[in-house]
């Protein structure tokens, strides 16, 4: 399998602050690769480095066989980049926005391609509507159409569904799956771990570095311990009590329940329940669940911070 991206100790600092630290990464042609991490993890900086928008402070990277530093113009001709704040022009229609991005990408015989993209994104009925009058989901689909107008071999998407309603997110993902079927390599960052589950492989990123890179199933299988979900009436109190009284036990809060990661559930769970009951926290149910990517990520963060 050919490498679409290959980096070696790729790093970027802004003054004294390292934003990306010694990233060694290989992305294969034709895969959907996810980059997951909290705000400030370095996701956007890494994508901008790979697109040739930023120059690395140190290290190297090749995208589609080309060096991002010495062949950045050639890289840009073969990729598409949808940034967090993709600049659509609100006073232009859908048709006019696509035409504009076609021309700045040097695509002058674009009309047939535009028709294909409008049908692909289901925007044909709205083609004369001004971009400023589109919903958030429709704006993202238009931005994707503009990104694809020059038929790139690879696209980079920086948190493309942030702030988009659930129905539009689902439609957007259907479009991405269709792009994969066309052989386009997709690299995307996302704060949504349920979206990362759809990727063939995922890089978990924090503080500018990569903690793990693997398929979602492999990441979950590698997590040690048993995850017990406890639904209770005072989640914040339950979280605080367990963190204070049993700091060795990993506790994660999710809405109206907590997840407790236990290495020996048979002996540790009764102790957890006694602590909650003694504090007057009412647990309405408990069950053992399979770990999610969110469990894995929080667990890795906890262990990393504990080691530090």
Does residue 159 share a domain with residue 104?
A: yes
Residue 297 domain-assigned (yes or no): no
Residue 301 domain-assigned (yes or no): no
Number of independent structural domains in the chain: 2
- Only one residue has tokens 């990123």, namely 205
Instruction: Tokens for 157, please give them.
Output: 């998407």
Does residue 158 share a domain with residue 134?
A: yes
The pLDDT score that the predictor gives to residue 162 is 81
With 0-12 / 13-18 / 19 or more C-beta atoms within 10 angstroms meaning exposed / middle / buried, residue 19 is buried
Per-residue pLDDT of the chain (308 residues; tens, 9 = 90+): 789 999 999 999 999 999 999 999 999 999 999 999 988 999 999 999 999 999 999 999 999 999 999 999 999 999 999 988 778 899 999 999 999 999 988 899 999 999 999 999 999 999 999 999 999 889 999 999 999 999 999 999 999 888 778 888 888 888 899 999 999 999 999 888 888 999 999 999 999 999 999 999 999 998 888 999 999 999 999 999 999 998 888 898 888 899 999 988 888 999 999 999 999 999 999 999 999 898 898 888 876 654 44
The pLDDT score that the predictor gives to residue 305 is 55
Residue 82 domain-assigned (yes or no): yes
H-helix segments, the chain: 43-50, 72-78, 94-104, 111-120, 136-148, 166-181, 193-196, 216-221, 235-245, 265-278, 293-307
Residue 181 domain-assigned (yes or no): yes
Q: Which domain holds residue 279?
A: 224-290
Contact 202, 215 (CB under 8 A): yes
C-beta contacts of 84-92 below 8 A and 24+ residues apart: 84/44, 84/158, 84/159, 84/162, 86/143, 86/146, 86/147, 88/131, 88/139, 88/142, 88/143, 88/146, 89/131, 90/130, 90/131, 90/132, 91/130, 91/131, 91/132, 92/130, 92/131
Contact 156, 179 (CB under 8 A): no
The pLDDT score that the predictor gives to residue 2 is 87
Contact 60, 69 (CB under 8 A): yes
Instruction: Tokens for 246, please give them.
Output: 């049993």
Does residue 162 share a domain with residue 90?
A: yes
The pTM (predicted TM-score) of the whole model is 0.87
CATH number at residue 281: 3.30.70.270
Does residue 52 share a domain with residue 191?
A: yes
Instruction: Tokens for 178, please give them.
Output: 């269709």
Reported as type and span, the H/E element at residue 261 is strand 257-262
The pLDDT score that the predictor gives to residue 171 is 87
Residue 90 domain-assigned (yes or no): yes
Does residue 62 share a domain with residue 167?
A: yes
Alpha-carbon gap, residue 145 to 120, rounded angstroms: 9
């Amino acid at each position: 399998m050919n490498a679409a991206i290959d980096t070696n100790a790729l790093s970027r600092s802004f003054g004294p602050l390292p934003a990306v630290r010694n990233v060694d990464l290989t992305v294969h042609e034709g895969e959907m690769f996810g980059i997951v991490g909290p705000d400030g993890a370095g996701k956007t900086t890494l994508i901008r480095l790979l697109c040739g928008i930023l120059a690395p402070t140190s290290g190297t990277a090749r995208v589609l066989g080309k060096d991002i530093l010495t062949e950045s113009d050639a890289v840009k001709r073969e990729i598409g980049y949808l940034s967090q704040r993709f600049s659509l022009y609100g006073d232009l229609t859908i048709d006019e926005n696509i035409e504009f991005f076609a021309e700045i990408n040097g695509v002058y015989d674009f009309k047939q391609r535009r028709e294909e993209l409008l049908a692909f994104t289901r925007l044909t009925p709205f083609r004369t509507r001004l971009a400023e009058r589109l919903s958030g989901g429709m704006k993202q689909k238009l931005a994707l159409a503009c990104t694809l107008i020059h038929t790139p071999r690879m696209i980079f998407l920086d948190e493309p569904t942030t702030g988009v309603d659930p129905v539009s997110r689902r439609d957007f993902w259907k479009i991405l799956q269709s792009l994969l079927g066309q052989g386009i390599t997709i690299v995307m960052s996302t704060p949504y771990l349920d979206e990362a589950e759809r990727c063939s492989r995922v890089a978990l990123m924090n503080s500018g570095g990569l903690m793990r890179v693997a398929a979602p199933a492999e990441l979950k299988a590698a997590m040690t311990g048993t995850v017990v979900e406890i639904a209770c009436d005072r989640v914040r109190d339950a979280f605080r009590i367990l963190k204070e009284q049993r700091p060795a036990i990993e506790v994660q809060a999710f809405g109206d329940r907590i997840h407790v990661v236990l290495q020996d559930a048979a002996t540790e769970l009764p102790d957890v329940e006694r602590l909650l009951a003694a504090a007057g926290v009412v647990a309405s149910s408990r069950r053992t669940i399979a770990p999610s990517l969110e469990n894995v990520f929080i667990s890795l963060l906890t262990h990393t911070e504990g080691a530090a």
